[in-house]
Chains A and B, each alone.
Chain A
Amino acid sequence: DQQVKQNSPSLSVQEGRISILNCDYTNSMFDYFLWYKKYPAEGPTFLISISSIKDKNEDGRFTVFLNKSAKHLSLHIVPSQPGDSAVYFCAAIGSNTGKLIFGQGTTLQVKP
C-alpha cells in the first residue's frame, strides 16, 4: 500500500540550476507533508514542511508546493548546490496518527 510515492528514483542537475523533486499521495486525510534529506549512514534530516491547508511554504532556497486536487507536492531547490546531493524523502502525517509515511526517496545529484 504505497500511500506516498516518489516515482523518480534519481535526478541529476547542474549547480546553480533548479532541482524539482516530486511526490504523489493517495490519502486525502494527510495533515502535514514533510521533506527530509538523508546522507548515507545518517538519519533523515528535516528540511521543510507544509500544512494541508496551505499551497506553498518557502524557507531560503527550499520551497514546497502542494496541489491538493492533484494530490501532488513538489520540492524546489534553487539554486542547487553540490552539497545538496543526497536522498530526498517525501513524507506525510495523518490527522489521527503521528506516524510518518515515507516515499521511496529520490537521489539528487548536483554536478559542479
Chain B
Amino acid sequence: EPEVTQTPSHQVTQMGQEVILRCVPISNHLYFYWYRQILGQKVEFLVSFYNNEISEKSEIFDDQFSVERPDGSNFTLKIRSTKLEDSAMYFCASSSGTGDGYTFGSGTRLTVV
C-alpha cells in the first residue's frame, strides 16, 4: 500500500537553529499538507500546497515557516529559527483531492532545546 514517508523520525535542535523536515508524498497525489501535534493537544493544520504554491496556511504558519517541493518528489517544511514552542510532532500528508484520499506520514518528533 502506498505510504507517505517522513524523515527524520526524531530531530533535536537548539533554539534559534534552522531545521528542515522532509516528506515523500504518495506519487500520484496532488495536494500536500503539514500538520503538527503538540504533546497532549490536538492535531493542527499548518499549510496546504498545490500546484507548486501554498493554497492555504494557518496562523501558526508565520514567516519562520516555509515549504518547498524542490524536485517533484520531496516536500519539505523549514523552520528558520526554532523556538521552544515549536517542539511537536510534525505530520506530512498527501491527498488525491477526494474526501477519503488523505494519507499521513508517521511524523517527525521535533524537540527544541
A70: Cβ under 8 A from any B Cβ: no
A-B contacts counted at CB < 8 A amount to 66
Q: Determine the interface band of chain B, counting residues with CB < 8 A from chain A.
A: 20 to 34
Interface SS majority for chain A: strand
B33: Cβ under 8 A from any A Cβ: yes
Judge whether B35 and A89 touch: CB under 8 Å.
Answer: no
Contact of A49 among B4, B33, B41, B100 (CB under 8 A): B100
Instruction: Mark out the residues of chain B between 34 and 80 whose CB falls within 8 Å of any chain A CB in the assembled complex.
Output: 35, 41-45, 48, 50, 55-56, 58
Interface SS majority for chain B: strand
Beyond A89-B42, A100-B45, A101-B45: 7 further Cβ-contacts under 8 Å? A43-B4, A45-B104, A46-B104, A99-B33, A99-B58, A100-B43, A104-B41
**B residues engaging A (CB < 8 A)?**
4, 6, 31, 33, 35, 41-45, 48, 50, 55-56, 58, 91, 93, 95, 97, 99-100, 102-107, 109
**A residues engaging B (CB < 8 A)?**
31-32, 34, 36, 41-46, 48-49, 51, 89, 91, 93, 97-105
27 CB contacts below 8 A, A to B, read A32-B100, A34-B102, A42-B107, A43-B93, A43-B104, A43-B105, A44-B91, A44-B104, A45-B104, A46-B100, A46-B103, A48-B100, A49-B100, A91-B43, A93-B99, A97-B48, A97-B56, A98-B33, A98-B56, A98-B95, A98-B97, A99-B48, A100-B33, A100-B35, A100-B43, A104-B41, A104-B42
